[in-house]
Amino acid sequence: MKRKLLSVLLAGVMCTGLMACGGSSSDAAASAEETEATEDDASASAEITLKLAHADNETSIFHQGSLAFKEKLEELSGGTMTVEIYPNGQLGSLADAAQGIQMGTIDVAPISSTVLANFSPSIGVYDLPFIIENEQQAYDSLDGEVGEALTAELESNSMLCKGWWTMGYRNVTTSKETTSIDDLKGQKIRTQNSEIQMAIFTALGADPTPMDFSELFTALQQKTVDGQENPYVNILQSNIFEVNDTIVETEHVYQVAGLLVSPKTYEGLTDAQKRWVDEAGAYSTTVEREACTADNEKAKETLVNNHGMKVVELDKQELQKRTEGVYDDYPDLKDLADKVKSYK
């Protein structure tokens, strides 16, 4: 009898011990989850400062977009994430900024498609002549399949694109009398360091001269080049009207840019912080595009009305005809170019 009672007591103790062990394991798991959540919340509230670099001045479209990114991110994060903006190429050229994004030494940077094409060639599709007929086509293609494909290509090159910005149509200015396409023949026109854009001006009979933007004004003063090509906002902000008196409205390229974030920076963020960066990117893209339209229109009016520049409109169909051969030189871009054109 005593043996039987002892057996029952031992069984009870063992059962109680097993229940206790089971309860301890469950509590530990719950505690671990709570700890992980607490750590994530703490990480999300930790103060982080991002460096944003661009090459333009404080009145530029890029700066307006950068301010919008900063304000929205700081608002969403409750001030735990701040953005320091470095304009005017303080952290180097656009090419330097692109490399900084890859290495993680720069956290955020808007960079033009012409520069990005050196890292991801497909983005050069937007440098092809007259591929964009209107702003809406640009927006639709960038926000659709084309933009998605380019974003994926950038990501494979250690660059995250959080929004496609725009700079507007590029137009020619010159110090020489120009009333027809043939008058461009032999003129030295400063271009960006882009094979495609140089090919455009070669097709028009001009002498394309790639040059860093920081050297342009002096080159125009000294007659090293006769003219250049840029969106209206850049023409105004850089005082090109002081050395060129004629605008030749070619609209040969609609310049786009990517708002880039460094993967090294992004991967170090919590899910909440990543979401805030994404939302700030989307918001700043809307602000920047609106500023692009408004500021380019205003800049053109100012150049004509306040600075006396003359506007010459050339035959757009003839311009397209003379430059259509440029597409043949870039067969790798054909499918993507057809997709961009499908948004017209």
Task: Report whether pLDDT(343) > 70.
Answer: yes
- Contact yes or no for 57/87 (Cβ under 8 A): yes
Dihedral of CA atoms 51, 57, 59, 63 in degrees, nearest 10, equals -20
Cα–Cα distance, 302 to 232 (Å, whole number)? 10
Burial class (CB in 10 A: 0-12, 13-18, 19+), 137: middle
For residue range 45-102, list pLDDT tens digits in order. Answer: 579 999 999 999 999 999 999 999 999 999 999 999 999 999 999 999 999 999 999 9
For the segment 214-228, the average pLDDT, to the nearest whole number, is 96
Contact 190, 228 (CB under 8 A): yes
pLDDT bracket for residue 137 (50, 70, 90): very high
What's the pLDDT band for 14 if we cut at 50, 70, 90? very low
What pTM did the predictor assign? 0.85
244 Cβ contact list (under 8 Å, min separation 6): 173, 174, 175, 220, 227, 228, 309
Average pLDDT for the chain: 90
Helix (H, G, I), strand (E, B) or coil at 81: strand
For the domain made up of 46-341, the CATH class stated in words is alpha beta
pLDDT band at 6 (very low <50, low <70, confident <90, very high): very low
CA 243 – CA 226 distance, rounded (Å) = 9
pLDDT tens for 99-112 read 999 999 999 999 99
What pLDDT is recorded for position 214? Answer: 86
CB 19 within 8 A of CB 25: no
Give the domain ranges of the chain. 46-341
Based on C-alpha coordinates, what's the Rg of the chain?
Answer: 28
Q: What is the pLDDT of residues 176-206, one digit of tens each?
A: 999 999 999 999 999 999 999 999 999 999 9
